Amino acid sequence: MAELSPALETARLILRGRPAELDAAEVALGFALPREACRSAGVSGRHALWLGPDEWLLLAPAAVADALTAMLEAATAQAPHALVDVSQRQIGLTLSGSDVEETLAAGCPLDLDLKAFPVGMCTRTVLAKAEIVLWRTDEATFHIEVWRSFSAYVRGILEVAGATVS
Amino acid sequence: MSTRYRSASGGRIDRGRPVRFTFDGRPYIGCAGDTLASALIANGVWLTGRSFKYHRPRGVLSAGSDEPNALVAVRRDEARCTPNLRATQVELYDGLAAVSQNRYPSLAFDLGVANNLMARFIPAGFYYKTFMWPAKAWDRLYEPAIRRAAGLGDAPTAADPDHYANRFAHCEVLVIGAGPAGLAAAMAAAKGGERVILVDEQVEVGGSLLDEPADGGTTIDEISARDWISQSLARLAAYPRVTVITRATAFGYFAHNMIGVIERLTDHLAAPPAGAPRERLWQIRARDVVLATGAIERPLVFPDNDRPGVVLAGAARTYLNRYGALPGKRVVVATGCDSAYAAALDLHHAGVKIAAIADVRRVPAGPLIEAARRAGLPIRFGCMITGTTGRLRVTGARFLVITEDGRAGLGETVACDAVLMSGGYTPSVHLFSQSRGKLAWDPDLQTYLPGVSAENERSAGACAGRFDLAGVLRDGEAAGSASIGVEPSRTFSVHAMAANPRGVLGALTHDRGPRAKAFVDWQNDVTTNDLKLAVREGFQSIEHVKRYTTTGMATDQGKTSNLNALAVVASALGRPIPQVGLTTFRMPYTPVTFGVLAGLARGDLFEPVRTTPIHGWAVAHGAVFEDVGQWKRARYFPRGGEDMDAAVRRECLAVRAAAGIFDATTLGKIEVVGPDAAEFMNRMYINAWTKLGVGQCRYGVLCRDDGFVMDDGVVGRIAADRFHVTTTTGGAARVLSMMEDYLQTEWPDLDVWLTSTTEQWAVIAVQGPKAREILAGLVDGVDLSREALPHMSLTHGVVAGVPARLFRVSFTGELGFEINVPADRGAQVWEAVWAAGQAHGLTAYGTETMHVLRAEKGFIIVGQETDGTATPDDVGLGWAIGKTKRDFVGKRSLARPAMSDPARKQLVGLATVDPARILEEGAQIVAEPGGTTPLTVIGHVTSAYFSANWDRSIALAMVSGGRARMGETLYSPSSTGDVPVQVVSPVFYDQAGEGVHG
Amino acid sequence: MQRFSAFQLFKQGLAGQAGWKPQWRSPEPKASYDAVIIGGGGHGLGAAYYLAKQHGLRNIAVVEKGWLGGGNTGRNTTIIRSNYLFGESAALYDHAVKLWEGLSRELNYNVMFSQRGVLTLAHNVHDVQVLGRHIHANRANGVDNEWLTPEEAKAFCPPLNIAANIRYPVLGGALQRRGGTARHDAVAWGYARAADALGVDILENCEVIGIRRGVGGAVEAVETTRGLIQTRKIGVSAAGHTSVVLDLAGVRLPLESYPLQALVSEPVKPVFPCVVMSNTIHAYISQSDKGELVIGAGTDIYTSYTQRGGLHISQHTLEAICELFPAFRRLKMLRNWGGIVDLTPDRSPIVGKTPVRGLYVNCGWGTGGFKATPGAAHTFAWTIAKDEPHPINAPFTLERFREGRLIDEAAAAAVAH
Amino acid sequence: MLLIACPYCGPRPELEFSHGGEAHIARPEAPADVGADDWGAYLYLRANARGLHAERWRHTHGCARFFNALRDTTTDKFLATYECGQPRPHLGEPS
Ligand SMILES: Cc1cc2nc3c(=O)[nH]c(=O)nc-3n(C[C@H](O)[C@H](O)[C@H](O)COP(=O)(O)OP(=O)(O)OC[C@H]3O[C@@H](n4cnc5c(N)ncnc54)[C@H](O)[C@@H]3O)c2cc1C
Ligand SMILES: NC(=O)c1ccc[n+]([C@@H]2O[C@H](COP(=O)([O-])OP(=O)(O)OC[C@H]3O[C@@H](n4cnc5c(N)ncnc54)[C@H](O)[C@@H]3O)[C@@H](O)[C@H]2O)c1
Ligand SMILES: Cc1cc2nc3c(=O)[nH]c(=O)nc-3n(C[C@H](O)[C@H](O)[C@H](O)COP(=O)(O)O)c2cc1C
Ligand SMILES: [Zn+2]
């Protein structure tokens, strides 16, 4: 049965802007923002998740939140963009185990097969009646981001789903 | 109990494992592997139910999901009682308790049978013609009586304790039906290495091959049909990406190749594991679909064809070969097609006496008929079955030989204890048709077949009109191969006896007079006479005939009957069948449990329960909550047995006298960021934003482009290019979506981006004259003074050790602050403020007090004062409009003449002449007392409370031309008479607005 | 017209029910009619009946592209009530309820109008306020509507779950006792038979494919799949297809056509004595005389003419049904279907004249026009006959959208805080 | 449940989308100059096409973008999806 656990405390920033004007942000981040739809990129605990053609979710260790924000704001001062701290807006959950796909499939209508949803893929989607961000971090592990007031619901769904798999 | 009708050997039941069960309380014994129907037949029980209308005794007709008659309720316990189950699909388990339905007092002696005696006076649609007088008698007399007589089983009365599962699935190829066609298709598709799902509604795969006798002649690739099934399963199991699901009915074919499948998980178990889901809904999205759903045997339509013991020939063969159950000891076979001979032969070999084979065809020929002749079976050609004898079970069959020139010859009755009948097979095109594929009439086969596809789908085997086994397998191989884009490669060598697939349609000729009842739709008691009556009464469309007679509308949806009904109607109309048309196939293929469609959504998971970081504190402090959208909001905090009025009164006084603390977290928040942020705000909101300085706030109003108020909220300017926008709790998603809409599609050139921050911040409102004092000790580096942080301003700072956006705003008319802190620190800051406030009389208040306090100030609530037809001016917000702005969303609409009609409803205050009298929200307002209905209504009360601070009742109202009526006395009609009210300013408290500046 | 009665039924019973005549003729279209009604649903057939009966127009035709009642009349959940918020609406729907009360006898056709009461549930404070406003407004308009506490609601509808700890507890409900249901098919057939008896030609399988306009733009004729028909007056009651039909005359309407689904359970013995609706958690349910639970689902989110929708829409409704009536969880869905409903921006109908002379429209009934059938048809016939609005349908003009005088029944129930 | 090809994310289930009504109804540049009839038409009149229909969707629970689609309302089949701002493609209709 798939295991559900809270993810580590994380800093979260939403970075928005025209892709062509965000080179400076990449320098500050230390890696290129994923420009391909529904893909993630990252180095050393920092990740950028493509959420839309002008929207990335940046994840970083909680401790570096302020520094990262300052660095990004400084680097992008000249480029029109929006950087908004959403560290507390949502929480992270990790779901892992041999039947993660089936467990999620109780409420998520996406094709979660490894071929259709490879490691590194990320996207906003729905889990039953809640919106989530789903990010596959390895074959048998998904990282889930969910707005905090929906987290009890998402946990509830995943628990029931886990109990009804196979 | 002996099982007298069990064959000596054979079948796929486990004869070594007896299973005890009861039917209507009587104990019986069956075998593991039996269905309830096969076990009852093996016990010689044929009477299983009563029909819907005439309460005629009925027995098992079929062996599958097409069963119209044998509906039973299965009862596990008080709460687990399921009505209307088909006995042919109920798997036997130890202790199974089944009961019959729609009879009183007992199945064998049913008073409802009176309807049968009345039958000639209550034909199809009789109720449209009578019960009209006297006027009130319909509701009181006739309808209750009709309702009591109608219906089938009893609905459960206790809540269902079982759980249901859901699974979204995806595959490249979905094969529906695991008969020879489906198995062949799945094996072919599996070769592609992609995901293949094979589903079948039966307990095991094999489809019609399961009906072959174990030692019968049919072989595929030189092995018996049964071995071939096992071999095929083993082959499929070797592919890791192939999934085979049995007890799984594809019930619906939805747009874009999504198929709904119900998998039955525990109903067949004597002791289901605790907590195991009862059924699972699969929603399968397939690139390609292969339909291999087979064909359904058609009954013959002749008088008294509904007597228990009259059974479909193919079903009889199934009962014998698959379940070792004998339909009788001396049987008559009535047929219009070859396949019934197979049943006759198998039964004959099992030692059953074949009393007669009556074939309506004049000169049929073929290997099966030849074999029957060789076996010495008594065959009569050109011989109609015209009736049956017996009461609760057949005792004989009547025949009529039709002479060469078509005249009725001699009649005769043959004794028997079962009648096997077959009119041929109707391909199962249900799912194909649901997919919106176009059916085509096949004049050869006399049936509808899949024509033009609408989805990426292929039909194979009997459902496509292919009935010879070799052809069926070839069809499956071809469909499976095509689904993965390859040429078919596998060939099959088949030894089977060929059968002419043609059958007969419609009513057989008979000599029984006009009143004889030849049933077409068994369950709904529709006879040929009913269908003809409908035609006689002018119902020419088959859709009308269906609705007038209810043919095809029962729980089997006409699986066995629709084509016969069509033929009867066509012949009555004198038109060819394809010109009469078809009724629409709709989901579900077989009835689907409500619970499994509801799935996981029950109890707390019915819908998300959204709570704020302060929820736990509120619970601990006895809050009473209200639902606002999905949120739980504290409504009031009763103390020591207070009711809501008392609590609210206390909370209201406390806020104005000292201070109150309120959880405003649920308000929507949007961060509007970018160089064009102010321009964007200018275009969206009615207000002007350019001049709003950084650190300042403004009350914003948002209209739709039709000029009506949609939402409101305080907006703070955090930086030149950054606004902190708040919305109503319920409007958060709507507002963001509307903003995104304009931004993305109308003004994509603007450099501004929107991010929801509703849940980033916990919002703690501290309101009241003592608010500053309470916070003073908690802030770090923030000057809370009136000068440094005036009303409608904001600052950043640290509150209770937590970085905060601190707003100086008020929805109460008092000195007020709204502390925004990161959500996970919300509870901590709340506690700190709470603790600091205790010395100052700080009181927690909820939404109800918030509503009263704002009403005292005349502040509107969108959705309470407004209802989607109010302009800003209507609700007294005309001042907020940026007069010099060239445009904003809604501006043009506000210029329409009707928007400035002086008769528009406007927001006013109402003061009841009796200060103790509280108006009712929603109460109407009239200008003159004592009117009679319909009254000339000029307005309505939007909010009404007792104001503790003013010690009288207050109300807000929308009144036609209200602002010009100040001082007038109006009336609010109520159950106790017209309540006089005076029109006053909507601002009841602190009209000068001093309080907020405190 | 061959009278229907118990006695006739008995007499025919003795004669093998052989003497019944067609309930309406199937005439060939004439070259010209004084008025042509497009759409053989309840509204169109009703308008033809009242034109003939009350306005003396006998040379009229109803043209129907398929079979009578095959549109929304034949696929609705048959809820009838008149407790609408705005005075204009209440007047219109209550006019209908009053006609319903005598309709079976008026038509000599049992339409099985059954006043079993319609209970609308409140699940939150806002609902309570909104229903409160409805009750007051209805009473002022002389329309019955009363508040029931949860316990009273339970007594009225025993299967209802009024536990306080469910996700959306029942806080009470507004009951209109005069509300109820009627047999949908019988309404179409009854009007057809009665209209036919007055000489109205009912032309089935006759699709309008063109509208011809002559001097001054006035209508001159309709082109149909069964030939050209001259006429000076055309009344359109084509529900979901109204914008398609009016397009033929060059008239655009504020309408969008959405799929709306409904479903029935297998028939069971009587368990549900009334009609229950819940807007908040989206469910409405009653039990038909045959025993099925008749359940209305929601509209799909996109416009469509396919008469079907997504499974998730029905699921959503069944979730709510199972929460409100947990004993029904084991019952089974027997059939699910869809209709095409024509929604206006304010969810109120459009009944009256169009910019084209001689062209009248009765549409925009959306998800709730069955209940209005007799009232709408009756006032529409008046408008067609006199070329002027009936006082009751006068507010429901097309112009109201241009002017912004919406009768916004939908927004009146908007939720916000 | 429809399967809708978001121009950014590819084919995705309908549950992730919201419908945005008819496409290519541009808000007038200067509403104040628009006459009453035209403004009324802009607000309320819709083609409600039976057949090919250009409409807006938003991939709300995905990339959150609005985009346009060409769909046949008699079959619910999509002929094309395309980004906002692009002209309506001419597919399946006489040119
Ligand atoms: C699932 C569902 C549930 C509903 N539930 C309720 C409810 O509980 N209560 C309620 O009051 N209302 C309900 N409604 C709404 C109600 O059904 C309709 O408002 C009402 O039936 C409309 O009647 P009508 O006669 O105007 O339209 P219809 O019955 O649809 O008749 C219009 C007719 O016009 C014909 N037509 C169209 N185009 C042409 C053409 N070109 N030429 C010739 N003929 C044409 C159509 O074939 C159709 O028969 C529901 C609707 C649906 C779909
Ligand atoms: N007149 C005749 O001679 C005659 C008539 C009928 C069948 N047959 C024989 O039947 C065979 C036809 O094979 P076939 O594979 O086409 O059909 P089949 O009947 O063998 O298999 C169809 C399978 O589909 C399943 N099914 C049907 N609807 C379903 C649904 N909605 N969901 C899930 N499962 C569903 C059934 O349970 C069955 O197992 C041939 O061997 C042919 O000889 C012959
Ligand atoms: C109130 C009502 C009750 C119905 N009851 C049944 C029923 O008992 N059995 C059935 O098969 N269909 C029933 N139907 C559905 C019709 O069979 C049919 O689906 C509906 O009229 C739409 O037509 P269509 O499915 O042919 O498009 C009912 C429909 C309505 C409106
Ligand atoms: Zn997308």
Domain boundaries, chain D: 3-26+36-83
How far does D90 lie from chain C, in Å, by closest CA? 20
Instruction: Give the Cα separation of B339 and B368 in Å (integer).
Output: 8
Distance CA B586, CA B599 (A): 21
Q: What is the mean pLDDT of residues B803-830?
A: 97
- Give the model confidence (pLDDT) of B739-761 as tens digits: 999 999 999 999 999 999 999 99
Asked if the model's pLDDT at residue B247 lies above 70, the reply is yes
For residue B3, pLDDT over 80 is answered with: no
A residues 34-93 closer than 8 Å to B (CB): 54-55, 80-90
**Does residue B979 share a domain with residue B935?**
yes
Closest residue in A to B610 (Cα) is: A149
Instruction: Give the C-alpha distances (Å, rounded to integers) separating A4 from A57, B603, B656, B778.
Output: 22, 21, 48, 38
* Token representation of residue B719: 């930086």
Q: Is the pLDDT of residue B811 over 80?
A: yes
D chain contacts of residue A35, beta-carbon cutoff 8 Å: none
Residue B517, Cβ neighbours under 10 Å: how many? Answer: 21
Comparing alpha-carbon positions, the chain B residue that sits nearest to A85 is B760
Residue ID of nearest Cα to ligand 1 atom 51: C76
Domain check: are B137 and B126 in the same one? Answer: yes
Of B674, B760, B822, the CB nearest to A80: B674
* CA atoms of B685 and B701, how far apart (whole Å): 6
CB-nearest partner of A37 from D1, D9, D16: D9
pLDDT exceeds cutoff 90 at A44? no
Instruction: Give the nearest partner residue to B896 out of D36, D75, D76, using CB atoms.
Output: D36
How far is C-alpha B368 from the chain's CA centre? 47
For the segment B566-570, the average pLDDT, to the nearest whole number, is 98
Residue B2 confidence (pLDDT): 56
Distance of CA D13 to the CA centre of its chain: 17
Mean pLDDT, residues B622-639 taken together = 97
Contact between residue C9 and residue B126 where contact means Cβ atoms under 8 Å apart: yes
For B462-516, where are the E strands, in sequence order?
494-495
Q: How much is the average pLDDT of C271-296?
A: 95
Distance (Å, whole) CA B272 – CA B77? 13
Number of domains into which chain B is organized: 6
CA dist B116 and B104 (Å) reads 14
Query: In chain D, which residues have their Cβ closer than 8 Å to the Cβ of B684?
Result: none
Q: Please tell me the distance from the alpha carbon of residue B764 to that of residue B768, in angstroms, as a whole number.
A: 13
Under DSSP, the state recorded for B575 is: S
Q: How far is the CA of B598 from the centre of ligand 1 (A)?
A: 28
> With a CB-CB cutoff of 8 Å, which residues 914-943 of chain B face chain C?
920-924, 926, 933-935, 937, 940
CA of A162 vs chain B CAs: smallest distance (Å) = 10
Residue B105: asked if its preceding bond is cis (omega within 30°), the reply is yes
Query: Is the per-residue pLDDT at C414 higher than 60?
Result: no
Phi, psi of B752 (to 5 degrees): -155, 145
For the stretch A72-97, pLDDT in tens is 999 999 999 999 999 999 999 999 99
| Global pTM value | 0.97
Q: Is the peptide bond before C169 cis (omega within 30 degrees of 0)?
A: no
Task: Tell if the CB–CB gap between A149 and B612 is shorter than 8 Å.
Answer: yes
Would you say residue B637 has pLDDT above 90?
yes
Judge if B291 and B308 occupy the same domain.
Answer: no
- B432: helix, strand or coil: helix
Q: How far is the CA of C307 from the centre of ligand 2 (A)?
A: 30
Please work out whether the CB of residue C75 comes within 6 Å of at least one atom of ligand 3: yes
Which of the four pLDDT bands, split at 50, 70 and 90, describes residue B611?
A: very high
Which residues, 6 or more positions from A83, have their beta carbon under 8 angstroms from its beta carbon?
Answer: A13, A14, A15, A16, A69, A72, A73, A76, B673
Q: What is the CATH number of the domain that holds B724?
A: 3.30.70.1400
Write the burial class of residue B696 (CB in 10 Å: 0-12 exposed, 13-18 middle, 19+ buried): middle
Residue range C227-253, pLDDT digits in tens: 999 999 999 999 999 999 999 999 999
Judge: D64–A52 Cβ closer than 8 Å, yes or no.
yes
Chain C CA closest to residue B543: C67
Confidence check: pLDDT of D58 > 50: yes
Q: What are phi and psi of D22, to 5 degrees?
A: -60, 140
Strands B668-673 and B753-756: antiparallel
Q: Which three-class secondary structure string do you get for chain C?
A: CCCCCHHHHHHHHHCCCCCCCCCCCCCCCCCECCEEEECCCHHHHHHHHHHHHHHCCCCEEEECCCCCCCCHHHCCCCEECCCCCCHHHHHHHHHHHHHHHHHHHHHCCCCCCECCCEEEEECCHHHHHHHHHHHHHHHHCCCCCEEECHHHHHHHCCCCCCCCCCCCCCCEEEEECCCEECCHHHHHHHHHHHHHHCCCEEECCCCEEEEEECHHHCEEEEEECCEEEECCCEEECCHHHHHHHHHCCCCCCCCEEEEEEEEEECCECCCCCCEEEECCCCEEEEECCCCCEEEEEEECCCCCCCCCCCHHHHHHHHHHHHHHCHHHHHCEEEEEEEEEEEECCCCCCEEEECCCCCEEEEECCCCCCCCCHHHHHHHHHHHHHHCCCCCCCCCCCCHHHHHCCCCCCCHHHCCCC
- Those residues of chain D whose CB sits closer than 8 Å to some CB in chain C are 1-2, 14-15, 17-19, 21, 36-37, 40-41, 43-48, 50, 53, 55, 71, 73-76
Q: What is the CA(B155)–ligand 3 centre distance, in A? A: 20
Ligand 3 atom at shortest distance from the alpha carbon of C77: 1
Residue at a domain's end among B460, B486, B512: B486
Does residue A109 belong to the interface with chain B, where contact is any CB pair within 8 Å? yes
Query: What gap in Å lies between CA D34 and CA D49, rounded to an integer?
Result: 25
Burial class (CB in 10 A: 0-12, 13-18, 19+), B952: middle
Instruction: Tell me the pairing of strands C60-63 and C35-38.
Output: parallel
The residues, ordered by sequence, that sit 6+ positions from A89 with a Cβ below 8 Å of its Cβ are A12, A147, A148, B756, B757, B758, B759, B760, B823
The preferred substitution site among C68, C73, C75, C80 for testing ligand 3, maximizing ligand atoms within 8 Å of CB, is C75
Name the DSSP letter for residue A34: P
Does the structure show a pLDDT above 60 at B1? Answer: no
The answer to whether B185 and B292 are in contact (CB under 8 A) is yes
CATH for the A89-165 domain, from 3.90.1010.10, 3.40.50.300, 3.40.50.1370, 3.30.1360.120: 3.30.1360.120
- One-letter amino acid of B217: G
* Pairing mode of beta strands B418-422, B310-312: parallel
CB distance from A156 to chain B under 8 Å? Answer: yes
Chain C residues touching D19 at Cβ < 8 A: 301-303
Task: Tell me what the mean pLDDT of segment B240-265 comes to.
Answer: 98
What is the distance in angstroms between the Cα of D9 and the nearest Cα belonging to chain A? 6
Number of other CB atoms surrounding residue C326 within 10 Å: 22
Pocket probe mutation, ligand 3, options B541, B556, B562, B586, max atoms within 8 Å of Cβ: B586
The rounded distance, in Å, linking the Cα atoms of B758 and B666 is: 7
Tell me: do B784 and B637 sit in the same domain. yes
Same domain? For B13 and B54 the reply is yes
Pair B983, B941: CB distance under 8 Å: no
Mutation target to probe the D interface, by most D beta carbons within 10 A, among A126, A135, A145, A147 is A126
Inside any domain, residue B405: yes
Q: Examine the pLDDT at C415 and tell me if it is beyond 50.
A: no
Inter-residue contact C189 to C157 (CB < 8 Å): no
Nearest to B521 by CA among B567, B569, B560, B572: B560
Confidence of residue B782 (pLDDT cuts 50, 70, 90): very high
Where is B542: in which H helix or E strand? helix B542-549
For the residues B286-312, what does the mean pLDDT come to?
98
Question: Could you give the C-alpha distances from B800 to B524, B576, B848, D78, in angstroms and in order?
Answer: 74, 86, 28, 56
Shortest alpha-carbon distance between residue D72 and chain B (Å): 13
pLDDT in tens, B202-220: 999 999 999 999 877 899 9
Domain residue limits at B709 = 667-757
pLDDT band with cut points at 50, 70 and 90 for residue B409: confident
Q: Around C150, how many Cα atoms within 13 Å sit in the side-chain half-sphere?
A: 13
Give the chain C residue whose CA is nearest to the CA of D18: C301
Average pLDDT of chain B is: 96
CATH 3.30.930.10 fits A9-85, yes or no: no
In one-letter notation, the amino acid at residue B189 is A
Say what the ipTM of the complex is. Answer: 0.97
CB C42 near ligand 1, within 6 Å? yes
Mean pLDDT over B634-648 rounds to 97
Q: How many CA atoms lie within 13 A of B876 on its CB side?
A: 21
B178 and B243 within one domain: yes
Mean pLDDT across chain C = 96
Helix B528-536 to helix B542-549 angle, to the nearest 10 degrees?
120
What is residue B217's predicted lDDT score, i.e. its pLDDT? 81
Question: Ligand 3: does its nearest atom lie under 6 Å from the Cβ of B575?
Answer: no
pLDDT surpasses 80 at B669: yes
- pLDDT (mean) for C287-306: 97
In chain A, where are the structural domains located? 9-85, 89-165
Q: Mean pLDDT, to the nearest integer, of C299-305?
A: 97
Q: Which of C370, C371, C396 should be mutated for ligand 1, with most atoms under 8 A from CB?
A: C370
The yes/no answer on whether domain D3-26+36-83 falls in CATH 3.30.2270.10 is yes
Q: How wide is the angle at C-alpha B180 spanned by C-alphas B558 and B300, nearest 5°?
A: 30
Q: Which of C68, C105, C136, C196 to mutate to test the interface with B (most CBs of B within 10 A)?
A: C136
Nearest partner of C330 among B585, B993, B238, B596, judged by Cα: B596
Q: For residue B964, which of B914, B922, B905, B877 has the smallest C-alpha distance? A: B905
At C349-392, the pLDDT tens digits run 999 999 999 999 999 999 999 999 999 999 999 999 999 999 99
End-to-end Cα separation, chain D, in angstroms:
31
